[in-house]
Amino acid sequence: MESGMISVDRWAAGSQAYFLTHLHADHTAGLSGAWRRGPLFCSRLTAKLIPCKFPGFDVSLLRIVKIGSWHSLSLTSPSSRSSVEFVFKAIDAQHCPGSVMYLFRCESGCTLHTGDFRWESNSLGTENGMAVLLDALKDQTLDTLYLDNTYCNPQYSFPSREVASKQIVDIITSHPNDEVVIAIDSLGKEDLLLYISQALNMKIWVWPERLQIMHLLGFHENFTAQTSVTRIRAIPRYSFKTDTLNKLNEFRGPTIGIMPSGMPWAVAGKDGNTVGASASHVNEKECSENTGSFSEMHGVGGNSGNTTKFYEVHYSAHSCYSEIQEFIELLRPVNIKGIVSSRSCCINPHYYFGHLCGPEQALWRVQQKLDCEEHLRRAEVAEIEPIVDGVSHVSRRKRKNDHMNFFGIRISRVSLLGRLSCGARITSTESCSK
DNA sequence: GCGATCAGCT
DNA sequence: CACAGCTGATCGC
């Protein structure tokens, strides 16, 4: 795609249309209430949150992109001065409230910008998102994939957010009489807090600005800003430290701290006040089974000499390596570019996934999808025919599976394609092998 | 004084 | 190494 037309999460002058994937600060550097550079495209929920995040923002510049629908956009090529027609679509990125990916199509090709995303294996949201994506690509190659490569390295393996949420509920219920403090940011982890609130039938305290966000998101029933009605508090991550917790421990009674973190191995044991599980220990637990892991740390108490317990639970809003791998295996882009720049070269998507990119791979995906749809059409016809030849359902299913194996993709993935075609159902029994 | 940018911390 | 993001220092207008 030619430069000087569309910017995604970049706010320098010189673009004709600006797209925002989500409202985290590392994607909005350069945005402010004084924004005047041009129309800003974002999801409906993000648009709702913008005046809160950027007071004074001129909302007449907002262009709401309805998720799942095609939108059209006519821009001017800076080089040829001719008109370029775009269509684009937003897809739920499941990273934080309002977060989306953008798929752009124009005459010169297709581009997908994932923004930050977490598409968990075997989740309905991921299946739906992938079905929308593949359907939108149709028989076109994906020319450029701008990828959330935060955890684009096999060492990054962690459980789903649901598993992590269950772990946190278990930690809280195992301390029935303690005050609980959970570290969160200004946006994100609402699904975790809702899960806790519903599982324990208890409101969660948040600070007043955060309660306003919860109101905008429609979650206000599960949250409160009154300190007296609950023992569970969500506090800003930057004020989550031994000092704060020890003070709570001293003045409000026994307190445990829970840090849901994307990289717990990085936080533990930095100073003398915390003693954490080592990174190798955390990783060892993760690698042995994908049921999740958490580490327990004990902070040294304040004047009272009490001990504050810290729990770091592996909770991530970014896809882990195996989820990124599944994503790329299905999309097969011609080019791939990481959106996370890092001094560390170990997350360069080309290093691990270069073999899944290139023109041949992109064409292979298109051909595979067409073959698969054709097969599913035939399979459905076969399914509604009466069985007259003595062939059992089991052997039919086996035949189908053989065909899928021929394609080299797993059954759970083919079920995504199944949704795309004529509603043919494929039984999905296999979990992802690692 | 205000906004942008960066170091530092968690 | 570094998730997301606040605070505070510095620079330029």
The pLDDT tens digits for A268-302 are 433 333 333 332 223 222 222 333 345 555 444 34
CA of A397 to C1' of C12 (A): 70
The answer to whether the beta carbons of residues A346 and A122 sit under 8 Å apart is no
pLDDT for residue A156 is more than 70: yes
Residues β-bridged to residue A375:
none
pLDDT band (50, 70, 90) for residue A225: very high
For residue A8, the 8-state DSSP code is E
pLDDT for residue A387 is more than 80: no
**Is A63 within 7 A of strand C by CB distance?**
no
pLDDT for residue A142 is more than 90: yes
- The closest of A44, A60, A7, A381 to A217, measured between CA atoms, is A44
**Is A261 within 7 A of strand C by CB distance?**
yes
Q: Please tell me the distance from the alpha carbon of residue A139 to that of residue A129, in angstroms, as a whole number.
A: 17
The pLDDT assigned to A269 comes to: 39
Residue nearest to nucleotide C7 (CA to C1'): A238
Residue nearest to nucleotide C2 (CA to C1'): A266
In which region does residue A68 sit, left (phi positive, over 0), alpha (psi from -120 to 50) or beta (all else)?
A: left
pLDDT for residue A247 is more than 90: no
Q: List the structure tokens of A173.
A: 């219920």
Half-sphere exposure of A104 (CA within 13 A, CB side): 27
What's the average model confidence in pLDDT over A377-403?
42
pLDDT for residue A395 is more than 60: no
Q: Please tell me the distance from the alpha carbon of residue A414 to that of residue A430, in angstroms, as a whole number.
A: 11
Q: Please tell me the distance from the alpha carbon of residue A176 to that of residue A165, in angstroms, as a whole number.
A: 17
The pLDDT assigned to A303 comes to: 41
Q: Please tell me the distance from the alpha carbon of residue A260 to that of residue A272, in angstroms, as a whole number.
A: 21
CA of A3 to C1' of C9 (A): 35
What's the average model confidence in pLDDT over A357-386?
67
Q: In the complex, which nucleotide's C1' lies nearest to the CA atom of residue A237?
A: B10
Q: Please tell me the distance from the alpha carbon of residue A100 to that of residue A111, in angstroms, as a whole number.
A: 14
Under 8 Å CB-to-CB from A137, ≥6 apart: which residues? A103, A110, A331
- The closest of A172, A171, A177, A179 to A205, measured between CA atoms, is A179
> Mean pLDDT lowest for which of A298-312, A331-345, A357-371, A391-405?
A391-405
* Strand C contact residues in chain A (177-206), C-beta within 7 Å: 185-188
pLDDT for residue A91 is more than 80: yes
- The closest of A76, A79, A126, A95 to A20, measured between CA atoms, is A95
pLDDT band (50, 70, 90) for residue A342: low
Residue nearest to nucleotide C6 (CA to C1'): A238
CA of A420 to C1' of C13 (A): 56
pTM of full prediction above 0.85: no
For residue A67, the 8-state DSSP code is B
Q: Please tell me the distance from the alpha carbon of residue A407 to that of residue A414, in angstroms, as a whole number.
A: 10
Under 8 Å CB-to-CB from A405, ≥6 apart: which residues? none
Q: List the structure tokens of A160.
A: 């789903």
> Mean pLDDT lowest for which of A161-170, A302-311, A401-410?
A401-410
pLDDT for residue A150 is more than 50: yes
**Is A269 within 7 A of strand C by CB distance?**
no
> Mean pLDDT lowest for which of A130-134, A207-211, A277-281?
A277-281
The pLDDT assigned to A380 comes to: 60
CA of A414 to C1' of C4 (A): 35
**Is A237 within 7 A of strand B by CB distance?**
yes
Phi, psi (rounded to 5 degrees) for A134: -65, -35
**Is A25 within 7 A of strand C by CB distance?**
yes
Residues β-bridged to residue A104:
A88, A111
**Is A37 within 7 A of strand B by CB distance?**
no
* Element holding A434 (H helix, E strand): none
The pLDDT assigned to A12 comes to: 86
Q: In the complex, which nucleotide's C1' lies nearest to the CA atom of residue A271?
A: B10
The b/e string for A287-310 (b: 16+ C-beta within 10 A; e otherwise) is eeebebbbbebebeebeeeeebbb
Q: In the complex, which nucleotide's C1' lies nearest to the CA atom of residue A11?
A: B4
pLDDT for residue A189 is more than 70: yes
**Is A34 within 7 A of strand C by CB distance?**
no
pLDDT band (50, 70, 90) for residue A381: low
- The closest of A196, A201, A180, A312 to A253, measured between CA atoms, is A180
Sole residue written with tokens 């809003």:
A317
What's the average model confidence in pLDDT over A87-96?
97
More confident residue, A230 or A402: A230
The SS3 of residue A22 is: coil
pLDDT band (50, 70, 90) for residue A307: low
What is the per-residue pLDDT across A21-60, written as a single tens digit (0 to 9) for each?
Answer: 999 998 998 898 889 889 999 999 999 999 989 988 999 9
pLDDT for residue A406 is more than 50: no
CA of A236 to C1' of C7 (A): 13
pLDDT for residue A82 is more than 80: yes
* Strand B contact residues in chain A (257-286), C-beta within 7 Å: 267, 270-271
Strands (E), A185-333: 204-205, 223-224, 232-236, 255-261, 294-299, 308-314
Q: Which nucleotides of B are covered by protein (CB under 7 A)?
A: 3-5, 9-10
